[in-house]
Amino acid sequence: MTERAGTGTGPGAGTGAGGAAPEAGAVARHQGLSSAEVAQRIAAGEVNDVPVRSSRSTAEIVRANVFTRFNAIIGVLFLVILVVGPIQDGLFGFVIVANTAIGIFQELRAKRTLDSLAVIGEARPEVRRDGATTEISTSQIVLGDLIELGPGDKVVVDGEVEEADSLEIDESLLTGEADPVVKRAGDPVMSGSFVVAGGGAFTATKVGRQAYAAQLADEASRFTLVDSELRNGISQILKYVIWMMVPTTIGLIVSQFTVESHHPREAFRRTIGGIVPMVPEGLVLLTSVAFAIGVVRLGRKQCLVQELPAIEGLARVDVVCLDKTGTLTEGGMDVTDLRLLGGGDQAYAARALAALGGAEPHPNASLQAVIAAYPPGGAAGWRATGTLPFSSARKYSGAAFTEPDGTDSTWLLGAPDVLLPDGHAALGDIDRLNDEGLRVLLLARTGRPLDDPQVAASVEPLALVVLEQRLRPDAADTLRYFADQDVHAKVISGDNAVSVGAVAGKLGLPGAEDPVDARQLPPERDAMAVVLERGAVFGRVTPQQKRDMVGALQSRGHNVAMTGDGVNDVLALKDADIGVAMGSGSEATRAVAQIVLLDNSFATLPSVVAEGRRVIGNITRVATLFLTKTVFSVLLAVLVVCWQVPYPFLPRHLTLLSSLTIGVPAFFLALAPNKERARPHFVRRVMRYSTPAGILCGAAAFVAYLLARHHYTGAGALAAETSAATLTLFLMEVWVLAIVARPYTWWRVGLVLAMGVGFVIVLVTPWLQSFFALRLVGTEVPWSAVGIAAVGAVALEVSWAWVRRWDEATP
């Protein structure tokens, strides 16, 4: 059975505080709707038929890829070329069509992956129909259904409580108030809240789009391409491009129609040849494709990315906060020993444990281990008269019984260091057990009623229950990966700090030998942050403290990821930069997390980090290529206007160069492995590299063009001039590609060489020469063009080295 109630120490989990009045004996069991009533409501359309929306619709994907600002610009220019020029000058239009088709295909592929994974991870509430409990999907709930609740369950539709057994519900996602609310019969419950303690059942009063859950689910599982530094940075770059395009385009149009006043068709072609390369048309597409393929890759590893920028976000993380239970350890535990305190009766202690196990309707891993060792059948004649569910704030649970001899007794089971006074003799033995990585619960009697806020004061300890936790086999390798990647792991748990430290130490976590008891943490954020940065293991952490710890780390400039599977993790998951939930965890954690590990494998996290780093690092590379082209295109337009000469290139020339030095290689580079740690200020970093590279490329091409204009005369002069300039520009661009492709691997070297071979094939193949209007005349100018490119390549290397040093010296 999966732990449904969180990850704290003791039987159950949650964030409740304070005692709750015993209600177990007074709860009347409702039968729920009959099959006939369910059919009647389905026929009336009173069904919770809100579709699972894990991604954009097909229509939205097509619209987002087709109807873009740059597609509109390119489309108009393409139509002009179809009228005035040969079809080869309109090749850029077909490239845009192909790119758009690729983008649509990849996003549709990602959509299918997300939709299928969302169905796997969808909440499946339990409803009572015809007196029997049945698990159904949320879309099958009908108005009036009786829905059962247990610790960790999310309230999926609005309703009214019918049964309450010490039911406490956290409504912080709706109200912002972190304290749980005790619910009794007749109280309303709102979808989007979740159970932190106790159990019960409620009747659905609002379903479908009337319920708040419809909005929450829509937002929690939406496939988004926004709210990330990468996407926002690209949008900012595109704004800069538009601002530069408007004046340079106007100047270029006036210039070309003045210079080519007797050849309007040639003026059109030259003008369009200058405008088209200013548009980084493939940059947005390639970013979307890289993200989409990342989703597909992670989907194959049973990782549901509920918000696409989470791939990027986790790559920027430098601190990952891990909950011990369910993350470093498996959910199951085994009772290894029952140690009596004060000469008690072992058989009596065993019966008390059996009774506590039988009284808890929603046992978690700790209590399941106790139940496995001491089945409820061993407490024959013990009658429960009240229960107190476990909460992470209390660190204990309890129950009141009438024993077979008529004696009334009240028992508590929970954290020894919370229930025992400081200096108690048993604490020494408990510390030694914790040092071995064992988990210890205290079984104690109390003379106070369960609803007394001081019920844990002056308890009579009877026995220590020693449990052994099962370590995840992949946890050590995952922690080692984070250490190698300079990501600091912080284990934050509600368990005893020494015990947590022992477990983390077995897994090789640096700093595990100095665990910190969170009860000793300073409340001030700055002081807390200092302790958090220094330590690695923190025990006895309350749910509110988890949230405060995340905030303290963020206040020191850290990007924080939080993992968890229980309701006591929800607040911290919501506040962290990236929330990662286990698929078997509570519905509430899955609802607020950006990433859900459906196979509950902590070892999947390195794959997510690696995928994010691949996306960010590679998009930074290819963005440099695209913006180098934009910069040199704007510079060439300005130089052409100033010198009042024909634009050096036809559209076909720049289509060829863009395909060989940007389009084709960028596609491969964007999907290549990349383990570089993501760094902030995407726009600034890209512009640092692309601006000098673009200036050098544009200047070299224009110098070669002016040299050719001075040398060539006659009817074929313009074609020869353009060919010489094209050769120089290609050599410069391919050198930029060679720099961007570093560090070299065999396939990167092969990619650069293949692009060079492609250009040579065009130059030596007669029909390709004619098609692309490229013909090198003589030897003096072509070799001069190569020489200019060589000087430009040296300048590129110098500028690149200088920018790299500057980049590494600044954050």
pLDDT, tens digit (0-9, with 9 covering 90-100), for 460-516: 888 999 988 778 888 888 888 888 888 899 998 877 788 888 888 888 888 888 999
What residues contact residue 703 under an 8 Å CB cut-off, 6+ apart?
A: 728, 788
Task: Tell me what pLDDT residue 217 has.
Answer: 44
Confidence check: pLDDT of 2 > 50: no
Please tell me the distance from the alpha carbon of residue 336 to that of residue 535, in angstroms, as a whole number.
30
β-partners of residue 443 are: 413, 463
Q: Where are the alpha helices (DSSP H) in 436-557?
A: 475-484, 497-506, 525-534, 543-555
Please tell me the distance from the alpha carbon of residue 494 to that of residue 397, in angstroms, as a whole number.
14
Please tell me the distance from the alpha carbon of residue 189 to that of residue 155, in angstroms, as a whole number.
7
- pLDDT tens, residue by residue, 328-348: 777 667 888 888 887 778 889
Confidence check: pLDDT of 767 > 70: yes
Q: What is the mean predicted confidence (pLDDT) over 212-232?
A: 51
Please tell me the distance from the alpha carbon of residue 431 to that of residue 409, in angstroms, as a whole number.
29
**Which of the residues 165, 170, 318, 323 is marked catalytic?**
323
Average pLDDT, the chain: 81
Task: Tell me what pLDDT residue 295 has.
Answer: 75
Task: Tell me what pLDDT residue 155 has.
Answer: 85
| Three-state DSSP class for residue 445 | strand
In one-letter notation, the amino acid at residue 586 is S
- pLDDT tens, residue by residue, 698-725: 999 999 999 998 888 766 677 888 899 9
β-partners of residue 391 are: 396
Please tell me the distance from the alpha carbon of residue 585 to that of residue 72, in angstroms, as a whole number.
47
Task: Tell me what pLDDT residue 224 has.
Answer: 39
404 DSSP assignment: T
On the CB side of 715, how many CA atoms lie within 13 Å of its CA?
0
- Binning pLDDT at 50, 70 and 90, where does residue 3 land? very low
In one-letter notation, the amino acid at residue 698 is G
Confidence check: pLDDT of 808 > 90: no
Task: Tell me what pLDDT residue 23 has.
Answer: 40
Domains in the chain (CATH in brackets) are 231-296+609-809 (1.20.1110.10), 301-328+472-605 (3.40.50.1000), 331-388+397-470 (3.40.1110.10)
Highest mean pLDDT (candidates 295-309, 387-401, 643-657, 750-764): 750-764
Q: Is 799 exposed, middle or buried (0-12, 13-18, 19+ CB in 10 A)?
A: middle
Q: Where are the alpha helices (DSSP H) in 659-740?
A: 664-670, 682-711, 717-740
What H or E segment, with its residue span, contains residue 215? Answer: helix 212-220
How is residue 311 written in tokens? 């791939």
Residue 336 near residue 468 (C-beta atoms within 8 A): yes
Residue 650 near residue 267 (C-beta atoms within 8 A): no
Residue 462 near residue 443 (C-beta atoms within 8 A): yes
Please tell me the distance from the alpha carbon of residue 241 to that of residue 132, in angstroms, as a whole number.
64
- Binning pLDDT at 50, 70 and 90, where does residue 740 land? very high
Name the residue with higher pLDDT: 280 or 637.
637
Task: Tell me what pLDDT residue 620 has.
Answer: 83
Task: Tell me what pLDDT residue 216 has.
Answer: 44
| Three-state DSSP class for residue 521 | coil
Task: Tell me what pLDDT residue 84 has.
Answer: 78
Please tell me the distance from the alpha carbon of residue 668 to that of residue 689, in angstroms, as a whole number.
20
Is 89 tagged catalytic? no
**Polymer length in residues for the chain:** 811
Confidence check: pLDDT of 82 > 90: no
Q: What is the mean predicted confidence (pLDDT) over 363-386?
A: 85
Confidence check: pLDDT of 738 > 60: yes
Confidence check: pLDDT of 728 > 90: yes
Q: Where is average pLDDT lowest: 166-170, 395-399, 678-682, 785-789?
A: 678-682
Task: Tell me what pLDDT residue 707 has.
Answer: 93
Confidence check: pLDDT of 152 > 80: no
How is residue 759 written in tokens? 């250009």
- Binning pLDDT at 50, 70 and 90, where does residue 179 land? low
Name the residue with higher pLDDT: 792 or 138.
792
- Binning pLDDT at 50, 70 and 90, where does residue 533 land? very high
Q: What are the φ/ψ torsions at residue 477 (nearest 5 degrees)?
A: -65, -40
What's the maximum distance between 2 C-alpha atoms anywhere in the chain?
119
Q: What are the φ/ψ torsions at residue 20 (nearest 5 degrees)?
A: -130, 140
Confidence check: pLDDT of 565 > 70: yes
Task: Tell me what pLDDT residue 806 has.
Answer: 82
Residue 449 near residue 474 (C-beta atoms within 8 A): no
Percent of the chain at pLDDT exceeding 70: 86
Name the residue with higher pLDDT: 396 or 229.
396
| Cis, bond preceding 375 (omega within 30 deg of 0) | no
**Global pTM?**
0.64
Give Cα 678 to chain centroid, integer Å: 14
Task: Tell me what pLDDT residue 55 has.
Answer: 54
Name the residue with higher pLDDT: 203 or 597.
203
Please tell me the distance from the alpha carbon of residue 320 to that of residue 482, in angstroms, as a whole number.
9
